[in-house]
Amino acid sequence: MRDVKRWLSVAAFSVSLGLTGCVSSSQYKKVQAERNQLQQEVDSARAEADDYKNQLGAVSEDSANKDEQITALSSEKSDLQAQLDEINQQYAEALERAANPLPPELTQQLAEFASKNTEILDFDQSHGMVKFKSDVSFAPGSVDLTPKAKEAITRLSRILNDQGVKGFELMIAGHTDAIPVERAATIKAGNRDNWYLSAHRAIAVGKALQKCEVSPSRMAMVGYADQRPVASNATDAGRAKNRRVELLILPVKATTASAEWMNTGKHTARKATASHHEATARTDEGSALNK
């Protein structure tokens, strides 16, 4: 408004000058100075407008790039979800197939092995499954195996590497309770939630077996967080049962195709389960306080 008044003032003076034809030198210089100042202000305003226009263009371009990133991430999420679905289906089928009993000699070996290690694991004969108790197998909120767990895995590997068992397929699944992860050290270590924690613990068991010369081509590793409880999460005893790592032994020889899938699955399981959590924004996954 002030600039408009100044323009009107200059314009009025110009009209007056045209009508009277005379004006003092000082008045002329004053008007000329005001016109020059106004011109500078106009030029500055135009420059500012051009700058805003350029910024807007940059923002639009950045927005387009972000849209492309979102599209790419959505595609990646779909691929990883498909991988997780495949692993889940494979695990469900494995449990069904595991209804067939293991060879009697192997069942007896595993039963004796479990009876000598009751503190750290159980043996489910009906499914051919060894269940590691997470509270004893891992430090609280950690994926590092305890010395006792490492010793048990070393002894178990001898059974799994027996000539008659050496080719059997193995599926390793991590499970947690339903209390959210809150320990800062657990999160800092890369276990942001129960999906990460369960998958990483399954991988830890698988890696320990590999160090004992159990072939990785026989293995698949996956984490289920708190999605497959075996007891109520309303009690301490129930939550303790839910915190486990299951090693399922399939009494079938690993074929070339299944071995290739197993070897690929163990690398993708952690990534797939982690991305599943990012996509669904779960808020009720398990805690590291009592794991």
Q: What is the DSSP string of 60-96?
A: HHHHHHHHHHHHHHHHHHHHHHHHHHHHHHHHHHHHH
Which residues on adjacent β-strands are paired with residue 145? 138
Please count the CA atoms within 13 angstroms of the CA of 26 that sit on its side-chain side: 0
Helix (H) or strand (E) holding 247: strand 244-253
pLDDT number for residue 225? 96
Burial 12-26 (b: 16+ CB within 10 A, else e): ebeeeeeeeeeeeee
Q: What is the pLDDT along the chain (291 residues), one digit of tens a residue?
A: 555 455 445 455 554 545 444 556 776 666 677 777 777 777 777 777 777 777 777 766 777 777 777 877 777 767 766 766 666 666 666 666 555 578 999 999 999 999 999 999 999 998 899 999 999 999 989 999 999 999 999 999 999 999 889 989 999 999 999 999 999 999 999 999 999 999 999 999 999 999 999 999 999 999 999 999 999 999 999 999 999 999 999 887 655 434 444 444 444 444 444 444 443 434 344 444 445
Q: Where are the domains of the chain?
A: 2-62, 76-280
Give the type of residue at 275.
S
At residue 98, the 3 state secondary structure works out as coil
User: If you write DSSP's letter for every residue of 162-190 in order, what string do you get?
Assistant: STTTTTEEEEEEEE--SSPP--HHHHHTT
pLDDT number for residue 83? 66
Contacts of 10 (CB under 8 A, 6+ apart): 31, 34, 35, 38
Q: Which pLDDT tens digit goes with each residue over 133-147?
A: 999 999 989 999 999
The single-letter DSSP state of residue 218 is: G
Give the type of residue at 44.
S
Phi, psi torsion values for 222, nearest 5 degrees: -155, 155
Q: Rounding to the nearest 10 degrees, give the CA dihedral for residues 251, 257, 260, 262.
A: -40
CB-neighbour burial class of residue 248 (10 A; exposed 0-12, middle 13-18, buried 19+): buried
Burial 168-194 (b: 16+ CB within 10 A, else e): bbbbbbbbbbbbebebeebbebebbbb
CATH fold label, 76-280 = 60s Ribosomal Protein L30; Chain: A; (3.30.1330)
Length of the chain: 291
